[in-house]
Structure formats: C-alpha cells, structure tokens
Amino acid sequence: MIEDDAPADQVASRRPAYLEDLAGGVDRFFEPRRTRCPWCDSDALRARLRTTDLLQHKPGRFVLDECRDCGHIFQNPRLNPAGLEFYYRDCYDGLGEKNMTGMFESNRAGYRSRAELVRDIGTSGEWLDVGMGHGHFCQEAATVLPGVEFDGLDLGDGVESARRQGWIRTGYRGSFVDVAEDLAGRYDVVSMYHYLEHTTEPKRELAAAMTVLRPGGLLAIELPDPECRWARLLGRWWMPWLQPQHLNLMPIANLRAELAALGFTVIAEQRAEPHSAIDVLAVSLMAVNALTIAGEDLPWRDAPPRRWRRIVRKATFVVCVPLFVLASVVDRISAPFGRQRGWSNAYRVVARRDAA
C-alpha cells in the first residue's frame, strides 16, 4: 500500500516505467513451475493457497504449494529476478518507504525480545544482521547488548542510511551468499529476522551463516510460522503469507533438521514469544484497502483515479476506524492464550555453530 499522501508527481513520474514493464503481461516475471519440493525433493505437492498482491495490488496471481511429505510451503511458480525487482519496487523504499518505516519503528518491543533471547544465552563481540532493512533492530538491540558491535547486510539503500545514523558499524550491500566467503569466520552472531522467507534458496543462506560464524558462534532466526492456526482460519488474508514476496515458509522441524545437518546445535526455541498480535487488524486493514483500492493513485495503473473515488476511499477508512479498533482489541485479548495453543504467527530459533 502506498501512503495516500504520496505526491502525485512522484507517482506520475514512475508510471511510464511501470506501464512499459507491464506491456507484455506478467508471465515473464515467473520461472517455470516446479514439480518437486525445493526442501526435500519430494514430488508430493498440493496447492495450499492462491492469491493476489494484497499489499501493493500490483497485477498478478500467485500460488503457494505445500509438500505433503515435509510440510515445506513455497511459491510455485516462483518469481524470477525481474519479477522480484518489479514486486519489491516501491514497497520498502520509494513510494512505500514511509509506511514501512512506521511499521518498523513500531516494533521496538519485538526487537528487544529478540536481543534479550541471545543475551540470556550469553554473547558478546561482533554481530551481523542479515536482511537488516533500515537498521531498526540494530538500533534497539544496542541498548540491550552494550559493547556488541553491529554490522548489517541487505540489498537496499537502508544499509547506507543505517550507517549514516550510527546504528551499524559496517554495512554490506548485496547478496549474503555472494559475500559469505569474504566474511568467513568474522562474526560471533549472525541474525536472520524475517529474512529467510524472502530468499530463493534458504538452505544456501544457512550454509553461508555457517561460513561467516566463528566456531561456537550463534545463529539467531525468526520466521513466520506456517503451522499457525491463524493461517488456516484466515486463508489468503493471513498477512504473513505476504505474496508475492515470501518465497519459502518452513515448519520449525524442517529448520531444526537442516541446522543439525550443517553442524549447528539448536540451543533455544520460542514458539509463543515472537507472536505479533496483528492478525485480525491486518485482515481488516487489507480488506478495506482492497474494497477501496480504485481510489488509490498507483503508478502501475494507466491513469490516476477520479477525485470522487479518492474521497470515497478516505471517507471509508475514517468510517472504519471503529472496526480497526475492535480488531486490535480482539488481537490483544486473544494473544495471551492463543500463543500457547498454536496461534503464534512466528517462531525463533537460536543455534550454536559446532566447534568442529
């Protein structure tokens, strides 16, 4: 979703490039459909979800398949590099940066909880946050872990922004798998918070973490939990599906087994604590947004909406404020008992790199 007060000239300036990208349709943004699970290589696949882009409302339809043998869920067919660029554009930066920055800044409690888990295990030294976004985790974690040196890695320009603000010591811009050998044995902690689900080959990312860590170093991971009951109840409106950006969602048992195979020992797991109480609120926001999307000025559409459509959109959001408040109350009331009964929408794992 683009903030509604985005300057019209900024939207208009992006329109020609988007329309050129879409002139040939969206089929060119996808790889061939896979017939085997990318996690365990089984051919026992079934369609789990069919949806559209419910965040930005860019054109296209997306399918998540589930492996009946290992439970891995993955986008199939998967976006190719051109597709990933197209659907990420103006989401975390550009026209969407204001919304995303506000969301990141509102999660300070979550950042502290992540840092406290690693602190309680016992750590110090140098920490690399992979998929750092704009660096908000590093900023908050520094207050929990004084003396730890934070570096960050990502593909976007948030790396430079975080470095300028002093939230990280060193920033790397690029692919983690590509730079891992250059960083071999350099870090005491590597974190991947809501990162692996965005990657095309999560097993290679885990192997890269093994390379970068010193013997005895820690790998901290947080992921959407595809076994969450909200996922079944809400269907395609469950926000952590986040299509088309989330390419792989793995059950915790799969992650645990892969870490052991690589030479890690899992020393901590959290299934309840990482839960973010936003499932019902997210549904209500996305639903109202979808109903009124004709009133939003989007650069991947031929022309801006008529003025009356924009007025209706704004008025609808105002009228629905009580609905959003009620949804938030439901989330908060249900969270304490829901976390303990399989309703947590995320999980955390901390693993130690074996000395050998």
Complete DSSP assignment for 209-256:
HHHHEEEEEEEEEEEE-TT-HHHHHHGGG-GGG-TTT--EE--HHHHH
Percent of the chain with pLDDT over 70: 98
Average pLDDT for 178-197: 97
Report the pLDDT value the prediction gives residue 5, as an integer from 0 to 100.
57
Report the pLDDT value the prediction gives residue 33, as an integer from 0 to 100.
98
Distance CA 130, CA 70 (A): 26
DSSP letter at 296? S
Residue that wins the pLDDT comparison between 92 and 245: 245
Average pLDDT, rounded, for the chain? 94
Report the pLDDT value the prediction gives residue 59, as an integer from 0 to 100.
97
Average pLDDT for 111-122: 93
- CA angle, residues 173, 179, 181, in degrees to nearest 5: 160
Tell me the one-letter amino acid at 252: I
Q: pLDDT tier at 4 (50, 70, 90 boundaries)?
A: low
The tens digit of pLDDT for each residue in 328-356 reads 999 999 998 778 789 999 999 999 999 76
Report the pLDDT value the prediction gives residue 42, as an integer from 0 to 100.
98
Residue that wins the pLDDT comparison between 260 and 355: 260
Average pLDDT for 77-103: 88
Q: pLDDT tier at 122 (50, 70, 90 boundaries)?
A: confident
3-state DSSP: the chain helix, strand, coil percent, rounded to 5? 45, 20, 35
CA atoms within 13 A on the CB side of 285: 13
Average pLDDT for 299-325: 96
Alpha-carbon separation of residue 340 from 268, 270, 277 (angstroms):
17, 11, 13
